[in-house]
Amino acid sequence: MRLQLVRRPQHSSLMAAVSPLIAFALTLIIGAIIFIAIGKPPGAALYAYFVAPLTEMWSLHELAIKASPLIIIAVGLSVAYLSNNWNIGAEGQFIMGGIFGSLIPIVFPGFQNVLTLPLMILFGILGGMAWGAIPAFLKTRFNTNEILTSLMLVYVAQLFLDWLARGWLRDPQGYAFPGSIRFPPAATLPEIAPSQGGAHYGLVFALFVAVALWFVMTRTLKGFEVRVMGASPRAGRFAGFSSKRMTYFAFLLSGGLAGLAGISEVSGAIGQLRETISPGYGFTAIIVAFLGRLNPLGAVVAGFVLALTYLGGEAAQISLGISDKLARVFQGLLLFLVLACDTLIYYRVRFSAGRKAGEAA
């Protein structure tokens, strides 16, 4: 039996809508098989993973805390990937945003007024942009592969944060433990509904950013430019678009948003600069971007789905003793299946027996 792809005359809008759902359903089926293989009841395990976190108010807040950074980063990455600029170093830009934004409350602890938070956020965005500008500069100036350089800078950023949190920015009264002073209230991103749970204004940023970029991508010339440059840089050049400017736009936007996510996380969820500030949000956001079909609004839905796997992993470990490492497997699996199902949008898949498939396509 042979598998054969037949290009559709037009891409299927039905498949474009349902392919992420098919991928999610397949992930659940494979998940059930994994649970059976490790001797856990599949029904209870899937419930713990994907339903239990949705049943209580406080855990919905936890879901929002985890979804916000994923959405903010993924929205930027969606635009970058659509323009064919492969920024896979969002994790590093997230960290740099966290560091830059934290400089204000740590270096100037006396500066506490209404300007503190806006300045921190501005610094966070600038930090992410600066880190994202490096691969963009190297790509446009020296033709260097942006995938490899942006990824290498993740490791550099992680080590830089580790050095700062153990050295220069460490709390002098912290008994030699790594980590900065705890931020004062003026430097803490407030909670949306403190009586119900801990979700902070990062969620508002996430929704705002998603809607704003959806508008830019679908209703403005800039959005058109991004699509054209991604699909055919040659056609774009004839239209007067510059591929170098597009590379900078993609990296500054996705880097800046990753930086915004970083400072929101540090200021809203953690409350101090630690030696690690991300459980891999910058990489998981890549999955979010693709699951959301590189659409900013899709990223919102996808962000919540991926956040659910983080929470579900913790829940299943407590209630059923299933390793929380399984959450990472689910995330990787989901991206794999999303990419596989995307083929259905552009191709019909046929199975033919034997090698004599001579019919006209």
Partner 1 sequence: MEMAQNIILTIMTAATPLLIAAIGELVVERSGVLNLGVEGMMVIGAVCGFAAAAVTGSPWIGVLAAIVAGALFSLPFGFLTLSLATNQVATGLSLTLLGVGLSGLIGEAFVGSAGLRLQSIAIPGLVDIPLVGRLLFGQDPIFYMSIALTAGVVWFLFRTRAGLTLRAIGDSHGSAHALGISVIKARYLAVMFGGACAGLAGGHLSLVYTPQWVENMTAGRGWIALALVVFASWRPWRVMAGAYLFGAVTIGQLHTQALGFGIPSQLLSSLPYLATVVVLVLISRNRRLTMMNTPASLGRPFVPDR
Contact positions toward partner 1, by CB under 8 A? 3-5, 7, 81, 86, 88, 138, 142-145, 147-149, 151-153, 155-156, 159-160, 162-163, 167, 283, 286-287, 290, 323, 325-333, 335-336, 339-340, 342-343, 347, 349, 357-358, 361
Minimum separation from the CB atom of position 347 to partner 1 (A): 7
**Extended beta strands in the chain, E state:** 2-7, 347-352
Nearer to partner 1, 17 or 357 (CB): 357
Contacts (Cβ under 8 Å, ≥6 apart) of 151:
88, 89
Using alpha carbons, select from 104, 70, 106 the residue that is nearest to residue 274.
106
Minimum separation from the CB atom of position 209 to partner 1 (A): 22
Minimum separation from the CB atom of position 235 to partner 1 (A): 17
Minimum separation from the CB atom of position 89 to partner 1 (A): 11
Nearer to partner 1, 104 or 341 (CB): 341
**Please, what is the angle between helix 296-320 and helix 57-82, to 10°?**
140
Token couple for 311: 């929470």
Minimum separation from the CB atom of position 303 to partner 1 (A): 16
Distance, in Å, from the CA atom of 301 to the CA atom of 91, rounded to the nearest integer, reads 21
Distances (CA, A) of 64 to 195, 202, 278: 15, 9, 15
Nearer to partner 1, 21 or 340 (CB): 340
Minimum separation from the CB atom of position 166 to partner 1 (A): 8
Distance, in Å, from the CA atom of 67 to the CA atom of 201, rounded to the nearest integer, reads 12
Nearer to partner 1, 267 or 331 (CB): 331
Minimum separation from the CB atom of position 126 to partner 1 (A): 21
Using alpha carbons, select from 331, 335, 295 the residue that is nearest to residue 75.
295
Q: Position of tokens 């962000």? A: 303
Nearer to partner 1, 189 or 302 (CB): 302
- Cβ(180)–Cβ(169) under 8 Å? yes
Token couple for 332: 């990787």
Nearer to partner 1, 127 or 202 (CB): 127
Q: How far is CA 166 from the centre of its chain?
A: 27
Nearer to partner 1, 239 or 340 (CB): 340
Q: Which residues pair with 6 in a beta bridge?
A: 348
